[in-house]
């Protein structure tokens, strides 16, 4: 089996922690999705980040991605993100619009504060109609901070990975 890629977008580090554990368990390469304009990762500024995320959502913005992502080099791509306003951060829409996932296996995962995947796994299927999209893994933010290796292991077994 060819090595997979784990892509993730994370401001506070919870999606990053989950991505790192998935990469560890699968032997995947891992790459952060970096915004051209960085978000403030200081948790004491959460309300400002929430307002910015809401504005991006309300205005259907597409924040630019700073780094080139090596998606074309992989057949399987895990994609991780936090939930913002019950959906993807808008940079994830940028990802799906900028890169071609046709013919790839796409496996979403996300961190959240009670909203689960918020329907984003179905949205991944809609945005990647020529991809095989496997069932995703929602991880409660507080669990992600503590680490969830067993949950990830069970999920990977469930999706036969």
Q: What CATH number is associated with residue 75?
A: 3.40.50.360
Q: Note the pLDDT of residue 41.
A: 76
Widest pairwise Cα distance in the chain: 43
Give the pair of three-digit tokens for residue 130. 């020529």
Percent over 90 (pLDDT), the chain: 72
The pLDDT tens digits for 135-150 are: 999 998 888 888 899 9
pTM higher than the cut 0.75: yes
Residue-range definition of the domain harbouring residue 144:
5-158
pLDDT of residue 86 exceeding 90: no
* Residue matched to tokens 């910015």: 52
Total domain count for the chain? 1
pLDDT of residue 51 exceeding 80: yes
Phi, psi of 60 (to 5 degrees): 50, 45
């Amino acid at each position: 089996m060819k090595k997979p890629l784990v892509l993730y977008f994370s401001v506070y580090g919870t999606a990053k922690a989950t991505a790192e554990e998935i990469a560890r368990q699968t032997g995947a390469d891992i790459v952060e999705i970096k915004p051209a304009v960085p978000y403030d990762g200081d948790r004491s500024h959460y309300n400002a980040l929430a307002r910015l995320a809401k504005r991006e959502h309300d205005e259907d913005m597409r924040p630019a991605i700073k780094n080139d992502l090596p998606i074309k080099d992989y057949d399987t791509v895990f994609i991780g993100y936090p939930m913002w306003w019950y959906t993807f951060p808008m940079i994830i829409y940028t990802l799906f619009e900028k890169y071609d996932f046709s013919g790839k296996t796409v496996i979403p995962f996300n961190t959240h504060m009670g909203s689960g995947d918020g329907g984003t796994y179905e949205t991944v299927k809609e945005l990647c109609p020529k991809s095989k999209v496997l069932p995703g893994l929602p991880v409660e933010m507080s669990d992600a901070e503590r680490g969830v290796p067993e949950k990830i292991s069970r999920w990977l077994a469930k999706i036969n990975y």
